[in-house]
Amino acid sequence: MSDTMEIIYSEKAPHYPLLVTAFNLLALAFVLIFANLAWNQNEGWLAFFIAAPLMTWGALSFSNMRYELDEEAVTAWLWPLRSRIEYKDVEKIEILEKYPWYVGLGMHWFKGTWWVTTRYQPCVLIHQKGKSNLAFTPTNPDAFVAMLKEHIKKAKHKKAR
């Protein structure tokens, strides 16, 4: 894969900015309170100042999560992490109307699948030959799957030439 591969389609992952912000503020407050109860006040503030940048990175990454299609693959990004499946490796594509709440939001590996999710809505699950699968939550799963299938067909046709 070339780093200069042309992006055919890119979609910023839908998310709830107010919810992400509220969660991070509550989590930071919890870190500060717990750290102050567990240790003395100086160590509590140290824990807070270690947790704050990590949680800020998480919130910024979450709000910049995106899904891309290029000439060769579909990629889900949660900076600096990414999960990429080349079209030639796709075995099956399905839309899950619901997925387990315990999988969580963000980017997680669970039972052979990379879950790159921003909300508990229908998600696209791509099965890959002999490798980890990929699940993500585009704005319109039906339209995304149709576009993905079209690009897979074009890539296979191009390869057959």
Closest C-alpha to 82, from 70, 92, 91, 94: 70
CB-based contact 95:141 (threshold 8 Å): yes
Q: Please give the pLDDT value at position 1.
A: 46
% of the chain beyond a pLDDT of 70: 85
Q: Please give the pLDDT value at position 31.
A: 73
Spans of the chain below 50 pLDDT: 1-2
Domain boundaries defined on the chain: 17-62, 67-160
> pTM to 2 decimals?
0.72
DSSP strands (E only) in the chain: 7-12, 66-70, 73-78, 81-86, 90-96, 106-110, 113-117, 123-128, 133-136
Q: Please give the pLDDT value at position 41.
A: 64
Cβ atoms within 10 Å of 134's Cβ, excluding its own: 24
For the chain, the C-alpha Rg in angstroms (whole number) is 19
Q: Please give the pLDDT value at position 38.
A: 66
Structurally, what CATH architecture does the domain formed by 67-160 represent?
Answer: Roll (2.30)
Nearest-5° Cα angle at 115, 126 to 29: 165
Segment 85-109, tens digit of pLDDT: 999 899 999 999 988 888 887 788 8
Cα of first residue to Cα of last residue in the chain, in angstroms, is: 19
